[in-house]
Copies of this chain bind each other. A is one copy, B any other.
């Protein structure tokens, strides 16, 4: 899922997200950011987030839990919820499971996430246990609020029908527990017991060693319900996606393709390419000779480097487009290879090529 924090996937138009190059079926919006700006009353007045931003395909909203957790010293966590200061105007705000799910209902997102607490990557067993148990209690409160709102038929925007979902919107639970396997397993059991439409693995890619991340996924993913989507939050590089898929994960969101695009880094089938490098000054080749996106069909590394060095906005626009095209195309090829029963071969070849760029 491309990340559309403030109601826009940075640097790219919705027409491009819908184009065959990208064909994104779902994007992510951030409850925390949208709640603070423009505010829920503005989005409600437009008839929900889909209508406000002009996007008719699916939307997932996170709960704001991770964002307020990231504020560090600026927030105070209690049993009730999290008090924090807005990064926009410094005002005191309060997010709880009830508030988060109510806001996400007003946004009308297709997939709602429970409000969770995230333990630091290197938290002790005791700290992690306390945090994980809080997440479970918050998950129950998130679910209760969600069920009440769905029952009341709160106007949740675009969705008219649901098939096998718990409501007109879908609600996903989040498994926490940092790098502690026993806590991860207990978190999973408790979360599944509450019952959700899908299950996410949260609290990875937050400072722990990458080997820890894969060990957790190794231990956890195949224990997750087979008939529900498994979503690894905030991950990752193309090789991370492939490795997580190999371990049983279905869904991802990550800012890497967009954020790195804006800082001049392209992801290609032969690894990362830094467009600032002087070696591209007269290089007439596209970013990725194996890529068929509109940027690679039209523009050279030489031109893209010139745009970047001149501080031109078009550099960000074009690199973002290519990076999203590469990520989404990679995931399309992953799905095809799974359907054709050749994923192991695809995984091996894909990974081998990634090391070939010579950077």
Q: Does A137 touch B at the CB level, under 8 Å?
A: no
Q: Does A7 touch B at the CB level, under 8 Å?
A: yes
A6 contacts which chain B residues (CB < 8 A)? 306-307, 310, 312
Given A46-B300, A282-B46: A38 and B314 interface contact (C-beta under 8 Å): no
B314:A281 contact, CB within 8 angstroms:
no
B52:A13 contact, CB within 8 angstroms:
no
Taken together as a complex, chains A and B put the C-alpha atoms of A17 and B53 apart, in Å, by: 23
A169 to chain B, nearest CB (A): 22
A42 contacts which chain B residues (CB < 8 A)? 281-282, 302, 306
> By DSSP majority rule, is chain A's interface helix, strand, loop, or mixed?
helix
Taken together as a complex, chains A and B put the C-alpha atoms of A11 and B313 apart, in Å, by: 6
Taken together as a complex, chains A and B put the C-alpha atoms of A106 and B15 apart, in Å, by: 36
Q: Does A37 touch B at the CB level, under 8 Å?
A: yes
A312:B282 contact, CB within 8 angstroms:
no
A305 contacts which chain B residues (CB < 8 A)? 38
Taken together as a complex, chains A and B put the C-alpha atoms of A318 and B15 apart, in Å, by: 11
Q: List 15 A-B contacts (CB under 8 A).
A: A6-B310, A7-B306, A8-B312, A13-B318, A14-B298, A38-B281, A38-B305, A38-B309, A42-B282, A45-B282, A46-B302, A46-B303, A54-B299, A54-B303, A317-B317
Taken together as a complex, chains A and B put the C-alpha atoms of A41 and B8 apart, in Å, by: 38
A86 contacts which chain B residues (CB < 8 A)? none
Taken together as a complex, chains A and B put the C-alpha atoms of A282 and B303 apart, in Å, by: 40
Q: Which of A71-129 contact B (CB under 8 A)?
A: none
Q: Does A290 touch B at the CB level, under 8 Å?
A: no
Q: Which of A1-19 contact B (CB under 8 A)?
A: 6-8, 10-15
Taken together as a complex, chains A and B put the C-alpha atoms of A59 and B310 apart, in Å, by: 20
B312:A53 contact, CB within 8 angstroms:
no
A46 contacts which chain B residues (CB < 8 A)? 282, 284, 300, 302-303
Q: Does A316 touch B at the CB level, under 8 Å?
A: yes
Given A46-B282, A52-B303, A306-B42: A314 and B37 interface contact (C-beta under 8 Å): no
Q: Does A162 touch B at the CB level, under 8 Å?
A: no
Chain A contact-residue range equals: 35 or more
Residues of A within 8 A of B (CB): 6-8, 10-15, 37-38, 41-42, 45-46, 52-54, 281-282, 284, 294, 298-300, 302-303, 305-307, 309-310, 312-314, 316-318
A13:B309 contact, CB within 8 angstroms:
no
B15:A294 contact, CB within 8 angstroms:
yes
Known A10-B312, A42-B282; 13 more pairs at CB < 8 Å: A7-B306, A8-B314, A14-B298, A15-B294, A37-B309, A38-B281, A41-B282, A42-B281, A46-B284, A46-B303, A313-B313, A313-B317, A317-B317
Taken together as a complex, chains A and B put the C-alpha atoms of A14 and B314 apart, in Å, by: 10
A306:B38 contact, CB within 8 angstroms:
yes
Closest to A41 in B: B282
Closest to A305 in B: B38
A8:B52 contact, CB within 8 angstroms:
no
Taken together as a complex, chains A and B put the C-alpha atoms of A12 and B16 apart, in Å, by: 13
A294 contacts which chain B residues (CB < 8 A)? 15
Taken together as a complex, chains A and B put the C-alpha atoms of A306 and B41 apart, in Å, by: 13
Among B13, B282, B309, the residue within 8 A (CB) of A317 is B13
Closest to A314 in B: B8
A19 to chain B, nearest CB (A): 10
